[in-house]
Structure 1
Amino acid sequence: MRRRFNTVVGRFIRGKGTPRRAGRWVTPAALAVLLMSFFWAHTLADSHGPKQSVLRVLAWPGYADEDWVRAFEKRFHAKVEVTFVDSDEALWARMHSAEPQPFDVLAANTAEIERYAQAGLLTALDLSRIPNRRWQQPYFQRVAEIRGLVSAGRTYAIPFTYSSMGLIYDRKQIAEPPHSMRALWDPRYRGKVLDFNSAQHNFSFTALALGYPDPFHLTPEQLRTVTRELVRLRRNLLTYYTLPEDATEQFVQHHVALMFGNYGTQQVEQLRHAGVDVGYVIPDEGALAWLDCWAITRNATNPALAYHWIDTMLEPDVGKQLTQREGLANTMTPLSGVASGDRAGAGPRLVWIQGVESTDEREVLWRRIKAGDPLERFAP
């Protein structure tokens, strides 16, 4: 506006655009009134003019690729601001920042969705505003059958992508595929194991490896046993990782033999692109599996745009690209024995992650484990 304002002022002063003789009749007071009228007219026009809508997305890497964002912005005449996270803990922290909730739509697994809904951080969804659900496999359309998505008859999230958390191993170092998560503790792999930096998943997969019937709701005695096992696991660890890119770099650079694959097939795809001959297995005791979903926050400033985002993410082309680029399953394409959570008994046994007995207690213990507290400091 400053450029246009200066141009018009110059015209009045120089008399451009009007006969020169008329300029001599403009008094200073009249000029001032005229200029102020022009200024306020354009200020009001700008303040009431169209503003670009902004959608703020909180998601994991690979869930909001640049070309998807650009296409969405062009289609809906909006601006998309994406914030990526590298752990469930980081996601929770972002949603609990001191500033007013800055996000409209987020991606989280079913256990986290249940936690967020109970905390009043999400808004119930109007499923009629997400017509692309029709492309999803029947199991994913039946949201009431998926724990964590529906409460009191109200749906809080829509499935988007999923993966198992199996074992990834270097075929050159491990000839026979490992059959159990207990392979992570095998002394042959000392200093050659990678683990994901997450209290919730580590306690749960260790409980599963120990044969506990419910790895998400541990008794105090079971929790103590799992804690001591995770302390013992440190002997074999090279380090903990967060993002799949971190794991790939560490795997290649340090010739890692075995890894707990939190991102599952996504990591397998990345490692193979990096030239590593890796195998992927679901252990005999089963594997944790995550199902990430889109949800709209309670304080979303643009819920209409948030609905458009979720609906766009369920387009078949986006699903295909997600699988091709990230190696992740999409909810539109059927995978035998996986889409149903192996309920029919075919294919690998997957255990969808759930909320746990005490998130805070697991977090406290995990910080101590990572800090290097010796085994004798943990009660047997």
Structure 2
Amino acid sequence: MAKRAFRTSGVAVIFFALTVCGLPAFAQDNVLRVLAWPGYADSDVVKQFESRFNARVQVTFVDSDEALWDKMHAGATPPFDVLAANTAEIHRYTLENLLTPLDPGELPNTQRQLPRFRALSSINGLTENGRIYAIPFTYSSMGLIYDRKQIPDAPRSMKELWNPRYQGKVLDFNSAQHNFSFAALARGYPHPFQLTDAQMRKIARKLVELRRNLLTYYTVPEEATAYFIQHKAALMFGNYGTQQLALLRKAGADVGYVIPEEGALAWLDCWAMTRAATNRPLALAWINYMLEPDVSELLTQRQGLANTLIPPPEYSGDSAHLVWIQPVENIGERESLWSRIVSGDRPERFP
């Protein structure tokens, strides 16, 4: 395979020159403070970065968007330098003036990414006033997982969840935000995250109808795997996407995965530099390092997540229609309606 030529930035040249000359790229007391999700900065990955750039890395892990937000607003001293967050959260941090703009020209490994991830202006939440505030890193779609024995031909539409032939054989994720959004996609609504009151009521009725096919709702991937295998489910809304697919196959299930023709909701986590970062070259080095093939591949091997360099086979190549999640119009209203749907409220009570 021919080697691809990459654009070299001034920062990259400095790193290269210092390494070749046998000089440390950074002083021994330089520290990079990273705020990330578990699996994004494993110890061996961190040690390799520290060795290469003669720096120390302190990683703080979070397990929810709320925890990430709290950490960023806790006034940590010294502050965090880089963070990983999804596109909707990146937009919030940008509006709060907590991030500093990035220049892809200073991140040569962005040239390795798939075209959809280099088209940053087309991804909602990454740019503001023409400036770039985050670089895509990893993602997962929320597609359909199906039992190949019961469904030999891959389902093409999210509407299959409502197919009467799967009565009692459907698993759904217990989430107000995502259920309203994927049902809106299935109905062809152009703005699944910004529904009108009338659309919200129509979607609520559709989700009530879905209960006829429901085996149960699940919350975590391990729970879904157990239900799917023990109760011989046929079809599932895969909120955790390829992570769930990997778990099911590891457990011996003969399952397939598909991105529906309407598209699939997807979250996209990105690396960003905080406005409080004290060493811009080191922060840029981290973001660029995260896009190296070996580092990106670990996401797939260890976490079952997609990386931005190579499309997973389940996604039908780079053309798969993924709809990156965005903030919704009224989370309180969605959660209120969803609690009634889950509790079994009668259809006629959703006018």
Per the alignment, residue 331 of structure 1 pairs with 308
Correspondence for 1:354 among 310, 326, 345: 326
Q: Name the larger-Rg structure.
A: 1
1:195 Cα shift?
A: 2.5
Partner in structure 2 of residue 257 of structure 1: 234
Offset at residue 95 of structure 1 (A)? 0.7
Determine the structure 2 residue equivalent to 1:279. 256
Rate the CA distance shift 1:248–1:335 in 2: closer, same or farther, 3 A: closer
Q: Is the 8 A contact 2:34 2:59 kept in 1?
A: yes
Relative to structure 1, the CA distance from residue 247 to residue 337 in structure 2 (aligned partners, 3 Å threshold; closer, same or farther) is: closer
Verify: 1:158 aligned to 2:135, yes or no: yes
Partner of 2:183 in structure 1? 206
Q: 2:83 aligns with which of 106, 109, 118?
A: 106
1:80 aligned onto 2:58: yes
Q: Are the structure 2 counterparts of residues 191 and 55 from structure 1 closer, same or farther at C-alpha, using a change threshold of 3 Å?
A: farther
The corresponding residue for 1:374 is 345
Does structure 1 residue 219 correspond to structure 2 residue 196? yes
Q: Distance in 1 between matches of 2:111 and 2:281?
A: 19
Corresponding residue for residue 121 of structure 2: 144
Which residue of structure 2 aligns with residue 319 of structure 1?
296
Following superposition, the deviation at residue 279 of structure 1 comes to 1.2
Gap change, CA 1:247 and 1:73, over 3 Å in 2: farther
* Partner secondary structure for residue 138 of structure 2: strand
Where do residues 108-187 of structure 1 align in structure 2 (5 Å cutoff)? 108-187=85-164
TM-score by length of 2: 0.76
Indicate if the aligned counterparts of 1:338 and 1:350 stay in contact, CA closer than 8 A: no
CA distance 1:239–1:103, shift in 2 (3 Å): farther
Q: CA deviation at 1:120?
A: 3.4
Normalised to the residue count of structure 1, the TM-score between the two structures is 0.71
Amino acid at match of 2:294: D
Contact 2:169–2:233, Cα closer than 8 Å, also in 1: yes
Q: Deviations over 1:241-274 (max 9, x none)?
A: 23x4443344334433321112323322232122
Residues in 1 aligned to 2:186 and 2:135: alpha-carbon distance in whole angstroms:
30
What secondary structure does 1:222 align onto?
helix
Write the distance in 2 (CA, Å) between the matches of 1:148 and 1:123: 14
Check whether the contact 2:185–2:262 (CA below 8 A) recurs between aligned residues: yes
Conserved in 1, the CA contact under 8 Å of 2:257 and 2:314? no
TM-aligned CA distance change 1:231 to 1:115, over 3 Å: farther
Determine whether 1:95 maps to 2:69. Answer: yes
Q: Give the structure 2 partner of residue 3 of structure 1.
A: none
| Alpha-carbon distance in 1 for matches of 2:338, 2:288 | 37
Which letter does structure 1 place at the counterpart of 2:345?
P
- Gap runs ≥5 in structure 1: 1-48, 343-347
Distance 1:230 1:120, change over 3 A: farther
Unaligned runs of 5+ in 2: 1-26
Q: What is the CA distance between 1:204 and its match in structure 2?
A: 0.9
